[in-house]
Structure 1
Amino acid sequence: MSTAAPSFAALRIRGFQAHCGTYLLAMMADNIEHVISYWMVFQEFHSPALGGFAVVSHWLPFLLFSVPAGALADRFDPRRIIQCGMGLFILASLGWAWFFITDSLQLWEAMALLVIHGCAGVLWQGASQMLLHDIVPQQSLGSGVRLMATARTLGVLVGPAVGGAIMLTLGPRYGLLLNALFYLPAVLWLWKAPYGPKFRAAPAAPPRPVRGFADISRTITEVRSQRLLAAMILLAGCASFFVGNSYQAQMPGFAQDLGHGDPGATYSMLLAADAAGALVAGLLLESRGGLLSTTPRTALVMAMLWCVALAGFAATSAYPMALALLFAAGVCELAFSSIAMTLVQVHAPEASRGRVIGLYNMSALGLRAFAGITVGLGGSAIGIHHSLVASAIVLLLALGFLGYWVRRRG
């Protein structure tokens, strides 16, 4: 793929400005809801099992439904798929607000709302990536993918802070009513945004019928014969399965061992270092377009450096070094994930692009449901430091084998 596109090329397109801006707002609202609802649910039930269900219900829908949702985006207007996702997000926020205001929340209702929230994310993410192809020309697609990844990171970074401020000012009950409004700009903009199937200049390939879970095996078969797509999907899957973002859930334990386990600025800096690194990486890669080449080799090298940074973080006992390594891990993670996503989007067959993107999301996001086993349960057996080091080393070996396979097949 060419790297001649100017800095922030996608941001020069007005439609992308609206798409990226509303995506950022929705991502922020997603994380605000996590902060408020998780806090209130913990105060109501004091159930670690429900906390575990919250994590599983967030990622398991990506594992089960990403490809079927991609098939819907192949066949129907992705704008309407995104609007359906926003509708489910709004329903979840209003549902939490209703039960908290009336003080009537039951355990099964909390579980149902968590599942609704997870399903909303599946509809939203894949269709947003599909719509990107209608907004951004192919020569600027890498810029669009990087900027969307940066917007996602920024939403993850500011969402908890905004959620905390809302809880302090409006309170958690009415704060969730306000949170529902953050999803509305995407709904309203997409209502008449001039993108989607009927606005495409080139005749579209005949849409394939939606076959539900059967689309998963068919898409895997299709991708298996295309080395580049298979390698990037395997890269994302290995990273999610062995490590994912599970170390973030263990951050209180790491912070305590580093001597900063109490709530405060030092603990918050530890939580934010990873996301800050990703944010800086996104801005740096956009401002210096040729800094990293968009190739499978670059993605694999950055993923390996991510493993090294995380293993170093788990092994260090010095707080400043831990901050620096988490920052470096954030830089590497955004770099390899945005490169892999760009390659998948560029090389996916047009007739099944939604399904292939769905398979990538299934691998990159859905398999995070199992990272709690490798790092979390492993941490209960041998300690979180040893489990993260071991998981990073196993992932590093898997990436080395994947790199050898790519070179051999190349």
Structure 2
Amino acid sequence: MTTAAAPTRFAALRDRHSRPYLFAAGLAMMGDNIEHVITYWVLWQKFHSTALTGFEIISHWLPFLLLSVTFGGLAQRYDCRRLIQIAQVLFMCVSVVWGILFATDTLQVWMACVLLVLHGCAGSLWAPAEQLLLHDFAEPADLPGAIRLNATFRSLGILFGPAVGSVLLLGLGPHFGIWANVVFYLPMTILLFRTPFTGHTRDGVAMGAGAKPVGGPGAAIFGSVRTIREVRLAPAVVSMLVLSGLMALFVGGAIQVSMPEFAVALGAGSAGLAYGVLLFANGIGAVLGGFLLEAIGVLKPNVLTAVLGTIFFGGFILLFATTGSYWLAVVALVVAGVANMASMSFSQSIVQLMAPPGERGRIVGLFSTVSSGFRTGSGIILAVLGAIAGLRGALAWSALILFVGAIVIGLWTWWDVRRDRRAPALP
């Protein structure tokens, strides 16, 4: 893939519109994770329900699976700033209601389930609109950097959110802590009143032009299939969708939930500083990877770099899952975090750059479906493989499947491109 102009390093941080957005996105993502820390702790202390714990994971990712294409259609038809603001307000409302239920001690399981689902819906509404807004902020040559830096700042929020959430929980208590969390969503909400871009400005395509109407439940459930059938996707885009789906389905959130077992197996114990270093290593790898890739600026967004990033990610997660050395496991997690950032940002860039302007919203929504929504199934795969091979073996097999799958996708795309080049031109 070529672009008309060479990319500017850290262009998104130099631009007066995208720079504050990146910081606001990091704060909002921190608020998302602070809410997880406080609410998950309260729910376990109050109900001690493993079923509710499982539902916490499902409710976070299932809206991405069912609603991302629909929300992508909304992002294509309407002002992305307002959709993001609606998502932020929904986050804030959920935090306020959590605080009221904590303070009055009236929380019931069904109430918790409703709030967890609403929180997941806010995240899935935010994702496609955010990507279209990034596409508006950046020139085509600078879009991969904008996507990478946005993911980096979101990773910073994910990295430090649990620490800040713990401080709020211990210092202010559950209800005041969750109310204080509202502050982290305000910068994004206020900023978008001052941002001139709508998510549709740069392409010169009017909002809604060429977009299919957004339907009801049928669109939510079958929207992904309909998008694949209606839109002729380039082989590179199909490859990135499959690649991202494999990462979400086979590794997904399996690393974090498996960490206590690995900490014990590596002799670190399930608590303490050594365990915390394991949790921190993969996250700091993603942050370092984002800044490092942007600073070097050598790797370009194409199928090869995305596939190589995924191969390295799968390979180093496989090393982490099989090594008996604690410090080698830490290094493997850091490198895997760098590779994950490369794979994710390059895949997202290819999808956005090659999507037709009139269908970009739905295609970005489809990418969100596979890259985030498929994480819903990663827990099921981990449980099935774990019953057969144990938790460490399950992660090792998952990483191996991802490693081999990435190689197959790379070879398939190379062969498809080679075949197209050999095909005779039409008269």
TM-score range with shorter-chain normalisation? over 0.9
Greater alpha carbon shift after TM alignment, 341-350 vs 206-215: 206-215
| 8 Å contact kept, 1:86–1:183 | yes
2:266 is aligned with 1:258: yes
Could you report, residue by residue, the CA deviation over 1:78-119 in whole angstroms, capped at 9, with x for unpaired residues?
A: 111101111111111111111111111100001111001000
Task: Please state how far the C-alpha of 1:216 moved relative to its aligned partner.
Answer: 2.4
Task: Please state how far the C-alpha of 1:207 moved relative to its aligned partner.
Answer: 3.9
Pairing 1:176-255 to 2, within 5 Å after superposition = 176-196=178-198, 202-204=204-206, 205-211=209-215, 212-213=219-220, 214-223=222-231, 225-255=233-263
Pairing 1:350-365 to 2, within 5 Å after superposition = 350-365=357-372
1:21 to 2, 15, 23: 23
TM-score of the two chains, using structure 1 as the length reference: 0.96
Pairing 1:47-196 to 2, within 5 Å after superposition = 47-196=49-198
| 8 Å contact kept, 2:263–2:278 | yes
Task: Please state how far the C-alpha of 1:4 moved relative to its aligned partner.
Answer: 2.5
| 8 Å contact kept, 2:134–2:199 | no
2: CA distance, partners of 1:235 / 1:201: 27
1: CA distance, partners of 2:246 / 2:343: 13
2:349 is aligned with 1:342: yes
Other structure's SS at 1:263 match? coil
Aligned residue identity for 2:387: S
Aligned residue identity for 2:58: V
Unmatched tracts of structure 2, length 5 or more? 418-427
- Check 1:316–1:405 CA distance in 2 against 1; reply closer, same or farther (3 A cut): same
Task: Please state how far the C-alpha of 1:203 moved relative to its aligned partner.
Answer: 4.4
Other structure's SS at 1:383 match? helix
| 8 Å contact kept, 1:62–1:362 | yes
Could you report, residue by residue, the CA deviation over 1:313-335 in whole angstroms, capped at 9, with x for unpaired residues?
A: 11111110110111111011011
2:283 is aligned with 1:275: yes
Greater alpha carbon shift after TM alignment, 204-213 vs 67-76: 204-213
Could you report, residue by residue, the CA deviation over 1:196-236 in whole angstroms, capped at 9, with x for unpaired residues?
A: 16855824344432232354223112455411111101110
Pairing 1:298-309 to 2, within 5 Å after superposition = 298-309=305-316
Task: Please state how far the C-alpha of 1:376 moved relative to its aligned partner.
Answer: 3.2
Sequence identity percentage: 42
2: CA distance, partners of 1:344 / 1:388: 28
2: CA distance, partners of 1:361 / 1:336: 14
Aligned residue identity for 1:352: E
Task: Please state how far the C-alpha of 1:189 moved relative to its aligned partner.
Answer: 1.2
2: CA distance, partners of 1:194 / 1:227: 34
Other structure's SS at 1:195 match? coil
2: CA distance, partners of 1:216 / 1:46: 36
- Check 1:90–1:218 CA distance in 2 against 1; reply closer, same or farther (3 A cut): same
2: CA distance, partners of 1:100 / 1:135: 40
Show structure 1 runs of 4+ deviating over 6 A. none
2:295 is aligned with 1:293: no
| 8 Å contact kept, 2:103–2:175 | yes
1:372 to 372, 375, 379: 379
Aligned-residue CA RMSD (Å): 1.5
2: CA distance, partners of 1:315 / 1:223: 42
